[in-house]
Amino acid sequence: MGSSQMSGTNSLDRAQTQAVRSKHAVASIVGGPGTGKSEVAAHRVAHLIKGDRDPQRIVVLVANHAAGRLMRERIEAVAGSAQPTLIVTTPRRLGSEILSRHARNLGRSERYVIHDRADAKQLITALLKERASEEISAEEVVDLIWTAKANLLTQKGIELLAQNDVAVAAARVFHDYNEGLRDCDAFDRQDLACKAVEVIESVEGALEEESKKIEHLIVDDYQDLSPAECRLVQALSSKGSLFVCGNEDQSIIDGTATQPVGMLEFVERHGGAVEIELNRCYRGPKTVVEAANEVIAQNQNRRAKLRTAAKKGGTAVRVLESWNERAEATDIEKSLRDLQSIGIRRSDVVILARTVEQFRTIRDLLRKLVVPHRVLGGERFSERKEVKDLLAYLKVITNRADLLSLRRIINVPRRGIGKLTLRRVEAHAEAQELGFLAALRDAEAIEDLPKNSKTKILNFCEQIDDLSSKLGEFDAAEMLDQVVERTRYIEDIHQQNVADRDAREAGVKELQAFAREFCERRNPGTTEAFLRETSLRVDADRYDPNLDVVHLMTVPVSRGLAFPHVILAGAEEGVFPRSDEPDEIEAERRLFHVAISRSSESVTICHARNRKRAGTGFRGEPSRFIAEIPDELREHLQTFSRETEIFDAAEKRDLPPPGAGEWVRFEIGNRVQHAEWGEGTVLETEGLGQDLKLQIQFETIGLKKLLLRYAKLKKVS
């Protein structure tokens, strides 16, 4: 979803028309949320195609696969026909394609694999252990190395910037980490841009070969590009035109708001570039647009821009103050019901939060009340255990050099190959100067290995060899199905009887569904291509506007999307913003600005008077960003009373509150038993103690409103 002002062939305003028809070789289109930047990019492509430009030489870069799908739909709507040869991709996917053509120059094969953060952490952990530096956080070292790569820093650059133990450790392992990637025939995700830049700038003829493929390069959300991606874009557009759309106020890289240097320095970096400003917002009503304007205007590291709303009027931004996080969840669920009662679809509402952890209480309540919902923004889909296991099989089947994946699957599902067995194989590999896979194949020659263990290892090798032999016969979806079936992966999940077995089985089925969709979209849908696609998939790619569910998203995932109704949870100091450091405040403010700018109709901002963080209770102070919205543009509602404070204080001392009678607490979602009407579910509560009023959905007679004092209810455990 996005700004819909110009879908199809509807007219553009004057600034948008100027942008679409620009004859400048380099153009920067700057505009706030909802000003139609993505629509302008789509119209620009259609304008070029109608001017007899070759679609195969037009490349459109977008933030993610979901944005790419929407961009292609927009382009085809404006152009009036399908454009199968047009390239719509992401910077990392483009870098991946370049590396595929030049992998040999960097010591990799054309079948190289892509490592994610979890893989990087595993390599770094092993390197730190070798150096007796286990006290250093591997997670922090990965952060620093990946940040260095995004900024095109070498080991020397890290050494010069090293100011703490983590930076010193990162500098020491940087070279060996990259060698470890090479040994696995792998690049990490950050390599896809920085190594592509290395190819372009150091491999003879590479710049000429790659840039001549692109006559027109169009970049949406340019502000989200890393310095490495910016350099790649500049190099690839050197023989043609460059048209970028963006806004420094929305700068978010890899899920974190960062310094918006890309947009701010674009014209300076590209001499002769024209800058066209879009200042009319076609998404939100006047109240929401002005609220967002006032908030972002507090940032200093930006250009002053005026956004005017095409829509007049609008409701004030609602600010709900709840007593604690449980009450906040209840207030949010009630807001959802209120919207549904006036005919609003679930998919038209999004619940946003700074981090995915904030959804825990909200999600628990939605589950209790059986409200269909989907959470986006936590663990990457490709980093879930079941997904990583199955992708590791596919990686080993296509590329035997990926030792990290080989070690992962050798006893998954469980086949009785334990740590002692693996240590003996490793010792044999070292003594015979063999690779790990060669040592496995040579299991019969390992003298201190039991016969049963040798058989299990050789059966595993035979299974991998047999699957590998089918690579030319099966597409990616068929190969994945073979792996799931022959390893009995789902049966193993159920045999383990783990708490999340249903979620893990659902993850397997979602991966299989994605493989089928991929093969329908790509012909041929090879396993190698599927692995690249999946490794580059982000959580935003799983967003489906056609699902009848409420979406819960972290703010970074929501970028580029729009919803009629936005509910923002956890707007408190220490939560959103997370820090009060001046630079970080500006970055957090950009995220807040992005959050409220997703709305095309209404915004509700929630904060709690009390909140638990890491198991400790804190007094919640409303986010400073709320106060930056002028009084006339917001409406403050407190959803608790003085009696709530007394009641809560008594509960914390494990005492009944004054006049409460028998001490039983009823909450939304509780199952209760009534003497006459049987069991039901609490849908809503109001009041305290014996004066508590409850709305209960009974299985026998439907909805009833009861006063606790007379209801004679019992909780059902």
What per-residue confidence (pLDDT) applies to 659? 45
How many C-beta atoms surround the C-beta of residue 159 within 10 A? 15
Decide if 8 is inside a domain: no
- Mean of pLDDT over the chain: 88
What per-residue confidence (pLDDT) applies to 3? 45
Same domain, 572 and 510: no
What is the C-alpha separation between 528 and 184, in angstroms, rounded?
15
Same domain, 410 and 441: yes
Decide if pLDDT at 28 tops 50. Answer: yes
What per-residue confidence (pLDDT) applies to 103? 95
Q: How far is CA 618 from CA 246, 301, 572, 611, 615, in A?
A: 38, 32, 11, 5, 10
What is the C-alpha separation between 339 and 372, in angstroms, rounded?
15
Decide if 589 is inside a domain: yes
pLDDT confidence band for 196 (50 / 70 / 90): very high
What is the C-alpha separation between 481 and 485, in angstroms, rounded?
6
What is the C-alpha separation between 414 and 430, in angstroms, rounded?
25
Same domain, 433 and 474: yes
Same domain, 514 and 601: no
Decide if 4 is inside a domain: no
Decide if 7 is inside a domain: no
pLDDT above 90 coverage of the chain, percent: 60
Angle between helical axes of 286-296 and 582-596 (0-180°, round to 10): 170
Mean pLDDT of 423-443: 90
Decide if pLDDT at 8 tops 70. Answer: no
pLDDT above 70 coverage of the chain, percent: 92
Decide if 294 is inside a domain: no
Mean pLDDT of 514-536: 89
Same domain, 350 and 476: no
Same domain, 205 and 78: yes
DSSP one-letter code for 12: P
Out of 184, 216, 232, a domain closes at: 184
Out of 480, 507, 537, a domain closes at: 537
What per-residue confidence (pLDDT) applies to 10? 53
The enclosing H or E element of 627 equals helix 624-627
Out of 184, 206, 235, a domain closes at: 184
What is the C-alpha separation between 652 and 650, in angstroms, rounded?
5
- Half-sphere exposure at residue 305, Cβ-oriented, CA atoms within 13 angstroms: 27
Decide if 428 is inside a domain: yes
* C-beta pairs of 399-403 under 8 Å, 24+ apart in sequence: 399/109, 399/111, 399/112, 399/113, 399/185, 400/437, 401/109, 401/183, 401/184, 401/185, 402/113, 402/184, 402/185, 402/186, 403/183, 403/184, 403/435, 403/436, 403/437
Same domain, 178 and 224: no
Mean pLDDT of 155-159: 83
What per-residue confidence (pLDDT) applies to 459? 94
Same domain, 508 and 598: no
Q: How far is CA 666 from CA 53, 367, 479, in A?
A: 67, 17, 51
**Residues 654-679 pLDDT 10s:** 444 444 444 567 778 888 989 888 89
Q: Return the amino acid letter for 88.
A: V
Cβ(611)–Cβ(320) below 8 Å: no
Decide if pLDDT at 255 tops 80. Answer: no
Decide if 657 is inside a domain: no
Mean pLDDT of 45-62: 94
Which of 544, 3, 56, 537 lies closest to 220, judged by CA?
3
Q: Is 451 helix (H, G, I), strand (E, B) or coil?
A: helix
Q: What are the structure tokens assigned to 393, written together?
A: 């099989």
How many C-beta atoms surround the C-beta of residue 279 within 10 A? 14
What is the C-alpha separation between 536 and 116, in angstroms, rounded?
9
Residue 578 lies in domain = 308-379+545-651
What CATH number is given to the structural domain containing 254?
Answer: 3.40.50.300
Cβ(238)–Cβ(211) below 8 Å: yes
pTM of the model as a whole = 0.83
Decide if pLDDT at 113 tops 60. Answer: yes
Same domain, 519 and 399: yes
Q: What contacts 172, CB < 8 A, 6 or more positions away?
A: 131
Mean pLDDT of 404-415: 92
What per-residue confidence (pLDDT) applies to 656? 46
What is the C-alpha separation between 676 and 710, in angstroms, rounded?
13
Same domain, 421 and 532: yes
Domain count, the chain: 5
Length, in residues, of the chain: 717
Same domain, 368 and 392: no
What is the C-alpha separation between 589 and 216, in angstroms, rounded?
34
What per-residue confidence (pLDDT) applies to 660? 44
Decide if pLDDT at 378 tops 70. Answer: no
DSSP one-letter code for 379: S
Q: What contacts 573, CB < 8 A, 6 or more positions away?
A: 580, 620, 621, 622, 623, 624
What per-residue confidence (pLDDT) applies to 618? 76
Decide if 451 is inside a domain: yes
**Residues 561-605 pLDDT 10s:** 999 999 999 999 999 998 888 878 998 999 999 999 999 999 999
What per-residue confidence (pLDDT) applies to 595? 96
Same domain, 22 and 40: yes
Mean pLDDT of 535-541: 82
**Residues 461-519 pLDDT 10s:** 999 999 999 998 999 999 999 999 999 999 999 888 777 788 889 999 999 999 999 99
